[in-house]
Amino acid sequence: AQSVTQLDSHVSVSEGTPVLLRCNYSSSYSPSLFWYVQHPNKGLQLLLKYTSAATLVKGINGFEAEFKKSETSFHLTKPSAHMSDAAEYFCVGSSASKIIFGSGTRLSIRP
C-alpha cells in the first residue's frame, strides 16, 4: 500500500531558527513527491517537487527538501523561519496515477 506520513501534526519554532517538517513515504513505485503550503482559508501553493532529477530540491521562499531513498523520507527544511511561514504544510505523493496526501503539519512561528 502506498502512504505518506507526516510525523508531526504541529511544529512550533522561534523566528530566525531552522524549520524541519518531516515526511515519510511508502510506495511500490518510485514516487513523485511534493510539498504544498496552505495559508488559512486559501488554496494550496506548490513549494517544491521531487521527480527523480535531483535528490536535493530547492523550492520557493527559501525552503528545500531532500529525497532519501534509504530512509524513505522527504523532509522539508528552511534555515531561518519567518513569521510569514506560519501555515499548514502538506506532503503529497504521486505514483501510478494515485495521489496521496499526508495529514498535514501546522507550523507556528514564535516571535
Partner 1 sequence: GAVVSQHPSRVICKSGTSVKIECRSLDFQATTMFWYRQFPKKSLMLMATSNEGSKATYEQGVEKDKFLINHASLTLSTLTVTSAHPEDSSFYICSANGQGQETQYFGPGTRLLVL
Which of 73, 77, 85 is closest to 18 using CA atoms? 77
Residue closer to partner 1 by CB (options 1, 70) is: 1
**Shortest Å distance, C-beta 36 to partner 1:** 7
**Closest among 102, 79, 82 to 92, alpha carbons compared:** 102
Residue 94 is a binding residue for partner 1 (CB under 8 A):
yes
Which residues are within 8 A (CB) of 103 and not within 5 positions of it... i.e. 6 or more apart?
Answer: 5, 6, 9
> What is the closest distance, in whole angstroms, from the C-beta atom of residue 62 to partner 1 in the complex?
20
Is 90:35 a contact under the CB 8 Å cutoff?
Answer: yes
Residues 60-89 that bind partner 1 (CB under 8 A): none
User: What whole-number distance in Å separates Cα of residue 73 and Cα of residue 3?
Assistant: 12
Q: Which is nearer to partner 1, 43 or 111 (CB)?
A: 43
- Residue of the chain from 3, 17, 51, 55 that contacts partner 1 (CB under 8 A): 51
Q: Which residues bind partner 1 (CB under 8 A)?
A: 32, 34, 36, 41-46, 49, 51, 90, 92, 94, 99, 101-104, 106
